[in-house]
Amino acid sequence: MTERIIRRVLQRAGITVNGNAPWDIKINDPRFYNRVLINGSLGLGESYMRGDWDCQRLDQFFHRLLRNGVPWVETINPVSLALFLKSRLLNLAPKGKAFEIGQRHYDLGNNLFQAMLDPTVSYSCGYWRNASSLEEAQIAKLDLICRKLHLQPGQRVLDIGCGFGGFARYAATHYSVEVVGLTVSREQAALAWRRCLGLSVVIRLEDYRDVCGQFDHVVSVGMFEHVESKNHRIYMQVVQRSLRPGGFVLLHTIGSSRGGTFNSPDPWIREYIFPLGQIPTRRQILRSSRGILEVRDWHEFGQYYDPTLMSWDSRFVAAWDELQAEYGDKVGGQFRRMWEYYLLSCAGAFRAGNIELWQVVLAHPGEHRNYYPVQ
């Protein structure tokens, strides 16, 4: 019965069980059907990690699946329902858990991220408008941010969620600004410090809620996705009090295309990749900033996350022989399948337009009303 249901739903997306197309899936364990029907997204990911099924092109599989709105990826089941209710009723990312995302994801080790990412070690969407390589796309993204902020020599910039120091290094080198970067990852902080030696850059292992002082501009790249929705208003208040009059805020974040007031976290991503992750909606950003900061520009280029993620996957696969000694035994020996599933499922989701990427420029109310978009 469950097999018939799953096969019929897959056929709606043009996916055949044990077919010959690169997006078709091969079933290695018939328990796959029950696991997916009962646990939805979590069951689909876990069954892939176990080896219950294979697919030659996971990115194409997810592109077709999500483009056609296949319902059982987000099916109502005990796991997703419990997560939905917890997310609506509780603050799942209180200050006491601020460093959990760093410990469980970003502290996996710099060897992994340096092998997977480009030389700027940028772990966010590149800007491929005129780029032909991952490194070019990431440099173009960093420069785009600097130009949108209208950086001037000697200015002081707060980088919330500074990652491996990519923006701090680039802005200090090419725009002669001072940067204070915050991260909750010890591994990121250590690498960012080394990469920014000799520059006007300070890296702090610090939660954004503890930041003090004022800055000419504030930037946050790929961090807002870790700010649980009940903390959005607090985040905007911190940014507002940190921003000097006349300054700009650049918020670079993945966003939900649904556009409603709430976006439930994906159970598999939450369990295995980003434990405190929750993609914001457009309305959440506008509502949380209301009366505190005003939007001056909203730039969407989610189509560029597809080639970014595919490049990361290619680099990860190419480096696996060297990474295997360190990561081969993690997650019960399932790390490689888990990580590729993460990268390729996200690539397929962006390709299908299921999720988006936004760069939002904000300012103090009443300021910079004649801000001209930079692209």
β-strand 53-55 against 201-205: which pairing, if any? unpaired
Percent of the chain with pLDDT over 70: 90
Longest dimension (CA), the chain: 67
**Exposure class string for 52-70: b at 16+ Cβ within 10 A, else e:** bbebeebbbbbbbbbbeeb
Look at residue 71 and tell me whether its pLDDT is greater than 70: no
Tell me if 292 sits within 8 A of 364, measured CB to CB: no
Which domains occur in the chain, in start order? Answer: 1-75 (no CATH), 96-305+352-363 (3.40.50.150)
Residue with tokens 């598999």: 268
Coil vs helix vs strand at 290: coil
Residue 70 — pLDDT band, cuts 50, 70, 90?
low
Region of poorest pLDDT, from 192-201, 252-261, 263-272, 347-356: 252-261
**Exposure class string for 194-231: b at 16+ Cβ within 10 A, else e:** ebbeebbbebeebbbeebeeebbbbbbbbbbbbbbbbb
Cβ-based neighbour number of residue 19 at 10 Å: 13
Look at residue 106 and tell me whether its pLDDT is greater than 80: yes
pLDDT digits (tens, 9 = 90+) for 163-181: 999 999 999 999 999 999 9
Distance CA 186, CA 310 (A): 27
Q: Which of 146, 162, 196, 346 is catalytic?
A: 346
Alpha helix segments (H runs only) across the chain: 2-12, 31-50, 58-67, 78-89, 100-104, 110-116, 134-148, 166-175, 186-195, 232-242, 267-272, 282-289, 305-327, 335-351
Active site residue 196: no
Mean pLDDT over the full length of the chain:
91
Q: In the predicted model, what is the mean pLDDT of residues 138-142?
A: 98
Q: DSSP for 241-262, please give it.
A: HHEEEEEEEEEEEEEETT-SS-
Report the chain's terminal Cα–Cα distance, integer Å: 52
pLDDT digits (tens, 9 = 90+) for 204-259: 999 999 999 999 999 999 999 999 888 999 999 999 999 999 999 999 999 997 65
Residue with tokens 């987000």: 74
Residue 98 — pLDDT band, cuts 50, 70, 90?
low
Helices 58-67 and 335-351, interaxial angle, to 10°? Answer: 40
